[in-house]
Structure 1
Amino acid sequence: MQKITIAIDGFSSTGKSTVAKQLAKHLGYIYVDSGAMYRAVTYYAMKYGFIDATQFNVVGLVSKLHDVVVYFEMNDVTGVADVYLNGENIEKVIRTLEVSNFVSQVAAIPEVRYQLVKQQQKMGAEKGVVMDGRDIGTVVFPQAELKLFMTASAEKRATRRYDELTLRGDIVTYNDVLHNIEERDYMDSNRDDSPLRKADDAIEIDNSELTLDEQFQKIVKLAESTIQGKN
């Protein structure tokens, strides 16, 4: 059975990673969370003092990018891959609101995008890959056989993200989460390098009113139909 490349793009907190993980597991494909890779670089920048509430040392961060090694390893307990930075499992620490507040700024740096896109393209060279992010269908895999673009209202996304953060014990307010989402939407869509946009041949999925199962079943049908069409 010939394998394909599946690119899932869209706005923050639209559930791209969740459905991409489900889809990869269902198809027996490799899942690559490109957003986690940018979060990893953001975490690195914060950890080593290149970015904080008062300054952002872009030149310093760029000079150290050769030291940043991001990769994924399967978690035997969850059944999905965790993200690692230079040997450290950072799956949980990169999901905080603090990292979210800076990730769009880091992702807008051309040198960061260049380095990570190279790594992503290498991961997907053999096909049989599901990758989600902001520019997968437009920049990383423009020839992907199936491209999806996920969207939902900012309010719906903020509610989902707020519930997720508070459930795991983070102390946040709904208004802070909504502000973060709206700010990231603007920055992702208006950056000079690889802005977020729907590829011309991408299928839009508005999941504002879809359950997780409804969304998954819809996307599985699209994937299986595309795979069958290639065989």
Structure 2
Amino acid sequence: MDEKAAVTRKINIAIDGYSACGKSTLAKDLAKVLSYTFIDSGAMYRAVTLFAMRNGWIKENGVIDQKALIASLNTVQIGFKPSQEKGKSDTHLNGENVEEEIRKPHIAQYVSQISAIPEVRKRLVALQQDFGKEKGVVMDGRDIGTVVFPNAELKLFVTADVEERARRRFEELKSKGVESTLEEVKKNLAHRDHLDTTRATDPLKKADDARLVDNTCMTKDEQLTLVLGWVRSLISN
């Protein structure tokens, strides 16, 4: 593709959407083609969830010791380091590569609850905004266009039918050797959708000026081609 050569100025691209809608795949593909930096904001919240779990602040009954977590947030360092083997960046928590662990179901089970804690969001939003100061960033999450990058030149809201999202996530987990059932995955997605859209702090919603991308019936290439057309239009003006 000629997109790399065509870029005359850098913009920030904010991508929001539901779990398992393919927004991270889109973000990674855009970053690769445009030679931009990809930041997986969801991975940052997953890393904090792992941090809380390792410290015993998430109880078996699902209750979170928010006071203990909040008091230790200043000790949490999250970064992204390129992996030559994988061709993408891995998430590091306090210097440790936790990319594989944060993708497991036991983390997904609690990440929405951790994400709803205002102090956690405040800390991570500040880190995310620092990433975008120099432009040329593609970031995906649930409040990127509404909170993190409200002035992003391109905002996208990605969605897909819940049945299709459950199928995609189930296939992803199966490919990684993670045992689950399609019904369990669908139930988890529905639960996360509810938590993400109803939380009091920075709930998931479409920014007024975001472009809607329903990829239920789209291939990855079709989705990428559509969005690259929008990017080219913006950077050429």
Task: State the AA in 1 paired with 2:206.
Answer: K
Provide the rounded CA distance (Å) in 2 between the counterparts of 1:62 and 1:175. Answer: 34
Provide the rounded CA distance (Å) in 2 between the counterparts of 1:226 and 1:51. Answer: 44
Q: Which residue of 1 is the match for residue 4 of structure 2? A: none
Is 2:214 the counterpart of 1:210?
A: no
Equivalent residues, number: 229
Counterpart pick for 1:45 among 27, 47, 52: 52
Q: CA deviation at 1:97?
A: 1.0
The CA deviation string for residues 4-45 of structure 1, in whole angstroms up to 9 with x for no partner, is: 010000011111111101100100101100000000000111
Task: State the AA in 1 paired with 2:12.
Answer: T
Provide the rounded CA distance (Å) in 2 between the counterparts of 1:52 and 1:226. Answer: 48
Is 2:196 the counterpart of 1:188?
A: yes
Provide the rounded CA distance (Å) in 2 between the counterparts of 1:164 and 1:53. Answer: 26
TM-score normalized by structure 2? 0.95
Q: Which residue of 2 is the match for residue 19 of structure 1? A: 26
Counterpart pick for 1:148 among 142, 153, 156: 156
Provide the rounded CA distance (Å) in 2 between the counterparts of 1:51 and 1:189. Answer: 22
Q: CA deviation at 1:150?
A: 0.3
Provide the rounded CA distance (Å) in 2 between the counterparts of 1:173 and 1:194. Answer: 31
Provide the rounded CA distance (Å) in 1 between the counterparts of 2:166 and 2:44. Answer: 22
Provide the rounded CA distance (Å) in 1 between the counterparts of 2:59 and 2:31. Answer: 35
Counterpart pick for 1:81 among 82, 89, 94: 89
Q: CA deviation at 1:212?
A: 1.1
Q: Which residue of 1 is the match for residue 17 of structure 2? A: 10
Q: Which residue of 2 is the match for residue 90 of structure 1? A: 98
5+ long unaligned stretches in structure 2: 1-7
The CA deviation string for residues 64-107 of structure 1, in whole angstroms up to 9 with x for no partner, is: 10111011011112221111000110111101111111000000
Provide the rounded CA distance (Å) in 1 between the counterparts of 2:195 and 2:209. Answer: 23
Aligned residue runs from structure 1 range 157-168, under 5 A: 157-168=165-176
TM-score normalized by structure 1? 0.97
Counterpart pick for 2:138 among 130, 142, 148: 130
Provide the rounded CA distance (Å) in 1 between the counterparts of 2:211 and 2:147. Answer: 16
Q: CA deviation at 1:225?
A: 1.4
RMSD (CA atoms):
0.8
Q: CA deviation at 1:219?
A: 1.3
Provide the rounded CA distance (Å) in 2 between the counterparts of 1:121 and 1:203. Answer: 21
Q: Which residue of 2 is the match for residue 102 of structure 1? A: 110
Percent identity among equivalent residues? 51
